[in-house]
Amino acid sequence: MSILSPTPMAQGNRTKASEFILMSFSSLPTEIQSLLFMTFLIIYLVTLMGNSLIILVTLADSMLQTPMYFFLRNLSFLEICFNLVIVPKMLGTLLAQDTTISFLGCAIQMYFFFFFGVAECFLLATMAYDRYVAICNPLHYPIIMNQITCAKLAAASWFPGFPVATVQTTWLFSFPFCDTKVNHFFCDSPPVLKLVCADTAKFEIYAIVGTILVVMTPCMLILCSYTRITTAILKIPSAKGKRKAFSTCSSHLLVVSLFYVSSSLTYFRPKSNNSPESKKLLSLSYTILTPMLNPIIYSLRNNEVKNALSRTFRKAISLRNCIL
């Protein structure tokens, strides 16, 4: 999602790249790569099924037609798209050892990586605002968070990804390249930028400033929302009321923590501690693990979702019995 300043390659033989080579996990033995393929395939399938189930259940169950679950559907759809951008190609490199990706394919992958990453930042902030209104202004919640407002907030969450992805991707791929070996399992910006043999100082400054704005603006909105939420919860006289109020936002808070901790460890560590191999491992946390964990968190920690899943399964079984 972000670009931190890797040192560009020295001026040398410039290559008009028609394709790149994703180094991925090629340094590992074949047996380990096969094990990784099976592990990532299972995680990928669980991610697709879990997030798809969240979308279907929140659409089908009449009890979940609220703003909170409208935004949760957006998040689940985003996680599915985010996975589709990265995981299928990574699985292909592990299974068939097809490590090449076209110049256009690499640019498209990076574009949508930026787009969905930025959208997730703002969508998580929107979900925090929804919890703030629900807890701090419960009487006015249905009026404030009406369908039109929810649609506008969702659109506002998705929109920032377009300019950020367009500017950063087109600018980066306008540079000449001295090499085509991307030391990563997808076309992330820092490893691609290392292949550039031109002065990238202005681009790096723009990228760092843009990253800070894109990451910190939603983060500050989330912090402000939860500061207000915490203050409101502490004013509730009964312990049962406090637990009930906290339970409505605990799943979101856990998802936010997973997303920001994993991405921060990947992109904001000191360069001296940021080897390519360690970055690959950390990148797995927010590209593969977090999208899988989100539906699990919302299913296990949210009684409304658990009850809706139970009702949906009972209806499906009853329908099946009627057909048979």
Reference 169, options 227, 111, 246; nearest CA is 111
Torsion of Cα atoms, 265 then 270 then 275 then 281, to 10°: 0
**What's the pLDDT score for residue 186?**
92
Kindly state the average pLDDT of the residues 121-147: 94
> Could you tell me how many residues make up the chain?
324
What SS3 string covers the chain? CCCCCCCCCCCCCCECCCEEEECCCCCCCHHHHHHHHHHHHHHHHHHHHHHHHHHHHHHHCHHHCCHHHHHHHHHHHHHHHHHHHHHHHHHHHHHCCCCEEEHHHHHHHHHHHHHHHHHHHHHHHHHHHHHHHHHHCCCCHHHHCCHHHHHHHHHHHHCCHHHHHHHHHHHHCCCCECCCEECCCCCCHHHHHCCECCCCHHHHHHHHHHHHHHHHHHHHHHHHHHHHHHHHHHCCCCHHHHHHHHHHHHHHHHHHHHHHHHHHHHHCCCHHHCCHHHHHHHHHHHHHHHHHHHHHHHHHCCHHHHHHHHHHHHHHHHHHHHHC
Per-residue pLDDT reduced to its tens digit, 175-222: 999 888 999 899 999 899 999 999 999 999 998 888 888 888 999 999
Read off the pLDDT of residues 47-90 as tens digits, 9 standing for 90 and up.
999 999 999 888 988 888 999 999 999 999 999 999 999 999 99
Q: Is the model more confident about 300 or about 253?
A: 253
Look up the pTM and report it: 0.88
User: Under a CB-based contact definition with an 8 Å cutoff, are residues 181 and 23 in contact?
Assistant: yes
Band of residue 15 on the pLDDT scale cut at 50, 70, 90: low
Categorize the per-residue pLDDT at 272 as very low, low, confident or very high, splitting at 50, 70 and 90: low
Question: 303: pLDDT confidence band, cut at 50, 70 and 90?
Answer: confident
pLDDT of 319 above 90: no
Closest listed residue to residue 132, CA positions, set 151, 145, 119: 145
**Interaxial angle between packed helices 30-60 and 290-300, expressed in degrees from 0 to 180 and rounded to the nearest 10:** 40
The answer on pLDDT for 278 being more than 50 is yes
Task: Find the distance separating the first CA and the last CA of the chain, reported in whole Å.
Answer: 50
